[in-house]
Every structure is written in C-alpha cells, then in structure tokens.
Amino acid sequence: MFHRNIKLIIAGLIFAVAVWQFTESNIGNGIFLILIALIFILLYFKNEFILLAFLKLRKQDFEGAQKWLSYIKNPNTALIRKQNGYYNYLQGIMISQTNLNAAEKYLKRALELGLNMDQDVAMTKLQLAGIAMTRRRKLEATKLLGEAKKLDKQNMLKDQIKMMKDQLKKI
C-alpha cells in the first residue's frame, strides 16, 4: 500500500505522537499509538500484499493470489530483499501450472534473493527438481531432490520427494 520508506516515516511520526501523549499523562493513548506504530514496522518487514497472496494461495485461489501480487508495481524497489524473494517464489509457484520456463526463472530468482524458512527453500528446490525432471535433466533433478530432502526437517515433503525419486528411476 505504502512504499517501504513511507511506512517507517509513518511509524516514526506515530511513535513521536505516542511520546507526546506520555508527556501529557495520557498513558493509554500513548500505548495504543505505540501498538499502531508497531503495525507499520511489521508491515515494513512483511509486505501486506504478499501476506494476502499467501492466504489466497493457501485456499488454492491462484487468480486471487495473482490479483494481490499485481498490486505490487515494481517489486525490485518497493520490496526489501527477502520480500522480493517471496514475491518471486509465489510467482513461480503460480506460473508453474502453465509456463515452466518462466516458473524456473522466478524460482531460481527466489533462491538467489533468499527465503526465510528452510521449508520454503525445500519447496522451491522440489519445484525446480520437477521442472528439471520434465526436461530430462536427471543429474540436476537428483541434486535438487537431495538438497530438498536435507532442508525438509519436519518431513512435510517426504511423500513428494519419494514419489519424484521413483519417477526419476524410470527416466
């Protein structure tokens, strides 16, 4: 909604008003304003459109997720590095249904920019392994599956990894 630097400026202004409220002995107003400032600081690190796109993607609503991501006009300047990684991650997952070339580009860019959670990195590598497998690049797919298995510490992708390894044996 707001540029990332504007979010910090708004948070600073609200925090200044909160301090002023504390000096005027309006403790309740000051605490409430600090909580509002913390929301803007949270939204600096977690982009609201990416969060909404994740919620839509969780419900398998790809069109809705794409709609929320389309609100981000220039992701390279509007988002911090990790947010840009998640933007590319989401784009790659959604486009992988139709265009494997573009999906591979987005997913590699997401890995390059970085993702916060190991589970997301494992999912990205699993997607890239599937793309490599469809293109008959067995060595690359095997390497990516091994990396995905290492990163999947909670065994959430265990079945998918096993299924892909079985399919690799058939190639």
Q: Yes or no: is domain 47-170 CATH 1.25.40.10?
A: yes
The residue-averaged pLDDT of 54-80 equals: 89
CA–CA separation, 31 and 62 (whole Å): 39
Q: Residue 38 pLDDT > 70, yes or no?
A: yes
First CA to last CA across the chain, in angstroms? 47
Q: In the chain, where are the structural domains located?
A: 1-45, 47-170
Q: Residue 171 pLDDT > 80, yes or no?
A: no
CB 122 within 8 A of CB 151: yes
Which two three-digit tokens encode residue 145? 């599956």
CB 85 within 8 A of CB 108: no
Q: What is the pLDDT of residues 124-153, one digit of tens each?
A: 999 999 999 988 888 998 999 899 889 888
Question: pTM of this prediction?
Answer: 0.82
Q: Is 53 exposed, middle or buried (0-12, 13-18, 19+ CB in 10 A)?
A: buried
Q: Residue 107 pLDDT > 90, yes or no?
A: yes
CB 68 within 8 A of CB 49: yes
Q: Residue 30 pLDDT > 70, yes or no?
A: yes
Provide the mean pLDDT of the chain. Answer: 90
The residue-averaged pLDDT of 30-52 equals: 92
pLDDT at 90: 93
Query: What's CA 134's distance to the chain center, in Å?
Result: 25
Q: Residue 1 pLDDT > 70, yes or no?
A: no
